[in-house]
Structure 1
Amino acid sequence: MLVGIGQVRGNRDRTVAGAREPLRLLADAVQAAAADARGTRMLRELDAISLTHTASWAYDDLPRLLADRLAAEPARRESAPVGGHQPAALLDAAAARIAAGETRIELVAGAEAAASTTVLDRAGVDPGADLGWTTDPGGPAPIGPDDLGSPAMLAAGIALPRRFYPMVDTALGHALGESPAETMAAGAGVFAALSSVAAENEYAWNPLVRNASEVASVRPENRMICEPYPLAMNAMPLVDQAAALLVTSVETAREHGVPENRMVHVWGGAGAADTADVLSRADLAGSPALCSTFDRALAAAGLAADELDLVDVYCCFPVVPRLAARYLGLPLEATAGATGGHSAFGGPLSSYTLHSLAACAHRIRAGARTALVHANGGYLTRQHAVVLAAEPHVDGYVGDPVPHDAAEPGPRLVDAAGEVTVEAATVEYDRDGHPAQAYLIALTDDGDRIAGCTAEGDAASARTLTLFPDGPAGEPGEAVVGRRVRVTRVGERIQVDPAP
């Protein structure tokens, strides 16, 4: 169960003086969690510390540094790899160990300080030399090749989330028979709902309520990023945020004097993984891992989706809640939950769902009975969901923390050219609002798959693949997915023309 919940939002004004390194944000969040649990004695008795990956500053052993600050000597220290699914997975695993009697008190936490590192870099301030930030090794944490997608994804230019997720939404819209305007309106609707949630969350980075028209309207302050997503439909990773959760058994909580009405029970959850290389997946318009995760988490809890009081779906880009709502059979706005999404609440990379778990736990303390908290990692690659509740489950912990393999074989990837059928596409814009580059995944007449990106500044190819024939500030035109186009390979790039 969750007995201590702590969150921190730092340096919202983005000043050099307000900069705090992730370790300090993390320690502040942990102290807030201990105070929430009515005392700091738990921290000295920690059996395990599990931390999400920190990308904004590099540490050789962040769990050890945190343990030293807390005067704790946990037998288990874990720093998870990159992944937005990790908070739910780490909490589920901690709850399983506690239920099995392997541990008594565990800490799950994470922090990012990307807003501060960006400000310091622009000001020419060295965080280590000038501000005393930890220098073992210090500097921005490196992102390895495995975190950026497969060689095929890198070659096709789609190994950036801001490019991949809108491509999935174009494929989903086609599968649902939507027009591009309907796809964009659906995304704007859910992100508007998320902004209202964030406005009630004291730890939100952008607590400004926006209506769907404001989210969807392309203008200088809401420029198009990758069709069909303007800036307001993208994650905001340049934030300073941290969260910490203290997890114990009921007996241990009572020993430490935690009031019964502050205990939030972790019924357990489930996880699944899809093929890491998105170009090898069977269907770009869905997520078998997401479906498996929801099916198993809800079945173990003995709940149907419409019986839940709260559903908080990971919202880095609109297509994730769109997929979740459709599979769960819920209205899209019902997935907005209690956090606020990556655009309005803020997107502290791998630690975002720690804030979702904290927000949902507070809502349960306030009277909600059950909450499903979903987390997504990679390119719709790894999914995990956890059920929280006001009362213990009749069977105790019912989770399955080991992720299942949900991969399904897909088409063969080839280097063919010629006439193909568009499977997914997007056009990326520069900061001046001009088309910069187009990205394409398509199927040959033989059922094979091709992928590639155009040369920067190839306006003719962008016109062939754009959803906005009159420019991004105009109305969306006809769907691109399903259209026949002719692909010509020019070195490592492609040119795309309408099929004759």
Structure 2
Amino acid sequence: MADPTRTPVIVGVGDLRSGRAGDTAGPREPLDLITDAARAAVADSGSAALGAEIDTIRAVKTVSWTYDDLPGLLAARLALPAPRSSTSPIGGHWPAALLDRIGGDIAAGRSSAALLVGGETQATMTSLRKSGTDPTSLDWSRAPGGPPAFDPADLGSPAMQRAGLIVPTRVYPLFENRLAHESGLSPDESLAESARMYSAFSELAAENPASWTSEVYTAEEIATVGPGNRMVCEPYPLTLNAMPFVDQAAAVLVCSLAVAREHGVPDDRIVYVWGGAGATDSVDVLSRNGFGTSNALTDAVGRALSRASIDASALDVVDAYSCFPVVPKLLARTLGLPAHAVPSVTGGHSFFGGPLNSYTLHSIAEVTRRLREGAGPALIHGNGGYLTYQHVVLLASTPHPGGYVGDPEPAQLASEAPEIVTGYQGRAEIVTSTVEYGRGGAPATGLVVATTPDGRRLAGQTGPEEAAALSAFTRTPARSAIGCSVHVEDRDGVLSLRF
């Protein structure tokens, strides 16, 4: 049996919301919610004294308010004497990656108890901006701390910016549409698959006390574009997009099995961190090998399962990151899940809520509860960037024979993508495309990635007239534009298309 002083286990979780969709609460800064979640995680362990054992605090970066040292501020509130601390960069994969790192620290003897935290109050920030209220007038932390900062590099590479591929709502549909094409699905069939999955997600979210929404949606309601469910970027209407305007926080308390037993944590409250794996694809999506798969996801899942010596069929619980449907679809296909599977226990970003980088912390909390109720091994997935950063972690209610078997350092994957060409004029084949709509409901921008006859890759955006034509082509009759031959003229990233 593995050394209990080197065996990482989850002993406490806490997650919460402040207010709810359509029922906002008084303004609270993220640190307040995170503090409440951390205290709830310690209380969940059943031992207040165990909290004093915390020697490490790892925080997932908060975006809605800037903290130079959130772990330090939290440690002061919890009266913890100078724990080791760190704050992640931006990325939704970090909760899984940090849990894996904590597991590795405990297995290596570098830590005996650690707190993993994260939270956002984007709903509050939006409300304060609309009312013209300065959060500093509400005594929000400024020493250190302050309003959120913006880094233009977060928009993407220069090639992506030239092509207009600068926000997730534009980029993820490109992956979705290519995946449907490679899966042999028509646009309508692919949308129906997304809607069925997200309807099931809404049912899970409605039962979760920490969820931002409580309404259950049918697949038909999700798939139907209309008032309250406008088209954002084909094929995703609003209900298939993440909802980041939430006030939510979560915390996870991890310690060695020895510490858990010293503090009397019952065996049926202990969840074992087997470990996980991560992988990173090219940051520039235009330098990827393809758009219908995620090499990083495939690599991370494969290495995590291999290190644990289990097959995907042994998993009883799967929770996928779900900012857009293509992400859980890719995970489900990678794991070989049946078509009716629902790869979530939390309820997804659209309905549970998408607190930016920290969503997967809520997944860890909910999966921990499932495992305490008797569920079998679980896989939790985190996704960052544009399918760029992938990390999965395995949890179970029983110890792994090898103790901690994770590999927390991500693999850096190489790409062999086609050469990018600019200023091109001539024939090309569409690799993937989408159309972004304005708030008035009309096509506003087309986004296209294509291949020239000599194998080079081009990408760009169109004006409203071309966007309308591209959208109309896919509807009359219903079909995909992917694989179609077009005549392209690229004028500094602005494309004209002729089918």
Matched, 1:431 2:439: yes
CA drift of 1:355 comes to 0.4
Q: Does 1:495 align with 2:499?
A: no
Give the TM-score of the pair, scaled to structure 1: 0.95
> How far 1:127 sits from its partner (Å)?
1.1
1:481 paired with 2:488, answer: no
Question: Which residue pairs with 1:45 in the alignment?
Answer: 53
Q: 1:13 to 1:278 in 2, by over 3 A?
A: closer
Q: Secondary structure at the match of 1:108?
A: strand
Is the 1:7–1:355 contact (alpha carbons within 8 Å) kept by the matching residues of 2?
yes
Contact kept? 2:232, 2:436, Cα under 8 Å:
yes
Task: Give the 3-state SS of the residue equivalent to 2:393 in structure 1.
Answer: strand
Residues 309 and 371 in structure 1, CA contact (< 8 A), matched pair in contact too: yes
Matched, 1:212 2:219: yes
Asked if 1 retains the 8 angstrom alpha-carbon contact of 2:21 and 2:212, the reply is no
Q: Secondary structure at the match of 1:324?
A: helix
One-letter amino acid matched to 2:309: G
Identify the match of residue 105 of structure 2 among 90, 94, 97.
97
Task: Give 1:128's aligned residue.
Answer: 136
What is the distance in 2 between the residues matched to 1:468 and 1:175?
Answer: 17
Matched ranges for 1:20-169 at <5 A: 20-129=28-137, 131-136=138-143, 138-169=145-176
Shift of 1:332: 4.2
Q: Distance in 1 between matches of 2:427 and 2:239?
A: 35
> In terms of mean alpha carbon deviation, does 381-390 or 411-420 score higher?
411-420
* Structure 1 segments of 4+ aligned residues over 6 angstroms from their partners: none
Equivalent position amino acid for 1:469 in 2: R
Where does residue 237 of structure 2 map in the other structure? 230
Change (3 A) 1:21 1:347: same
- The more displaced of 367-376 and 489-498 is 489-498
| Larger deviation, residues 285-294 vs 9-18 | 9-18
How far apart, in 1, do the equivalents of 2:187 and 2:472 lie? 10
In structure 2, the residue corresponding to 1:268 is in which secondary structure? strand
Instruction: Tell me which amino acid in the other structure corresponds to 1:111.
Output: G
Task: Give 1:371 deviation, angstroms.
Answer: 0.6
8 Å CA contact retained: 1:2, 1:245:
yes
- Asked whether the 8 Å contact 1:461–1:497 carries over to 2, the reply is no
Q: Which residue of 469, 473, 482 corresponds with 1:463?
A: 469
Aligned to 1:371: 378
Contact map agreement 1:422 1:480 (CA 8 A) in 2? yes
1:236-285 CA-partner distances (Å, limit 9, x unpaired) = 00000000000001110111221111001000000011111000011111
After the TM superposition, which residues 355-366 of structure 1 pair with which residues of structure 2 at under 5 Å, given as runs? 355-366=362-373
Amino acid at match of 2:132: G
Change (3 A) 1:468 1:483: closer
Taking a change above 3 Å as real, the CA distance of residues 352 and 97 of structure 1, as seen in their structure-2 partners, is: same
1:459 positional shift: 1.7
Look up the match of 2:6: none
- Aligned to 2:102, the other structure's residue is in SS state helix
For 1:466 and 1:266, locate their aligned partners in 2 and report how far apart those are by CA, in whole Å: 50
User: Which residue type is aligned with residue 394 of structure 1?
Assistant: P
Q: Secondary structure at the match of 1:334?
A: coil
SS of 1:158 mapped into structure 2: coil
Structure-1 residue corresponding to 2:453: 445
- C-alpha distance in 1, partners of 2:467/2:92? 34
TM superposition shift of 1:43: 2.9
CA contact (8 A) 1:114 1:237 kept: yes
Deviation at 1:154, TM superposition (A): 1.2
Equivalents in 1 of 2:157, 2:12: separation in Å? 39
1:271-290 equivalence runs, <5 A: 271-290=278-297
Matched to 1:92, the amino acid is D
Per the alignment, do residues 335 and 140 of structure 1 end up closer, same or farther by CA in structure 2, a change over 3 Å counting?
Answer: farther
Partner residue, 2:318: 311
Find the partner of 2:419 among 401, 404, 412.
Answer: 412
Q: CA deviation at 1:336?
A: 2.4
The 2-side partners of 1:490 and 1:137 are apart by: 46
> Which amino acid in structure 2 is aligned with residue 275 of structure 1?
S
Equivalent of residue 192 in structure 1, options 199, 204, 221: 199
Aligned-partner residue type, residue 377 of structure 1: G
Partner of 2:20: 12
Which residue is equivalent to 1:473? none
- CA drift of 1:466 comes to 4.9
Q: Provide the identity percentage.
A: 49
Q: 2:187 aligns with which of 157, 168, 180?
A: 180
Unaligned runs of 5+ in 1: 471-475
Q: Is the 8 A contact 1:461 1:495 kept in 2?
A: no
Q: Structure 1 residues 449 and 406, CA, compared in 2 at 3 Å: closer, same or farther?
A: same
Residue 358 of structure 2 aligns to which amino acid in structure 1? S
Q: Within 1, Cα distance between the matches of 2:322 and 2:182?
A: 21
2:394 corresponds, among 387, 395, 402, to 387
Q: Which letter maps to 1:495? A: S
Measure how far apart 1:488 and its partner are.
1.6
Q: 1:238 to 1:31 in 2, by over 3 A?
A: same
Residue 369 of structure 1: how far off its partner (Å): 1.9
The alpha-carbon deviation at position 306 of structure 1 amounts to 1.6
Q: Residue 497 of structure 1: CA displacement?
A: 2.0
Q: CA deviation digits over 1:7-53, x for unaligned, max 9?
A: 11112256776111000000000010011011333333321110011
- Superposed displacement of residue 492, structure 1: 4.2
Give the conservation status (yes or no) of the 8 Å contact 2:162–2:492: no
Return the offset for 1:74.
3.9
CA distance, structure 2, for counterparts of residue 391 and residue 488 of structure 1:
60
Contact 2:21 2:213 in 1 (8 A): no
Query: Residue 265 of structure 1 aligns to which amino acid in structure 2?
Result: Y
Change (3 A) 1:477 1:264: same
Matching residue within 245, 257, 282 for 1:250: 257
Q: TM-score, normalised by structure 2?
A: 0.95
Contact 1:11 1:115 in 2 (8 A): no
Tell me: CA distance 1:492–1:395, structure 2 relative to 1, closer, same or farther (3 Å): closer
Q: CA deviation at 1:444?
A: 0.5
Mark the runs of 5 or more structure 2 residues left unpaired by the alignment: 1-8
| Aligned 8 A contact 1:419 1:444 in 2 | yes
Partner of 1:399: 406
Contact 2:446–2:466 (Cα < 8 Å) also in 1 = no
| Contact kept? 1:149, 1:277, Cα under 8 Å | yes
Deviations 1:369-421 (A, max 9, x none): 21110111100001000111001001100111111122321111111222111
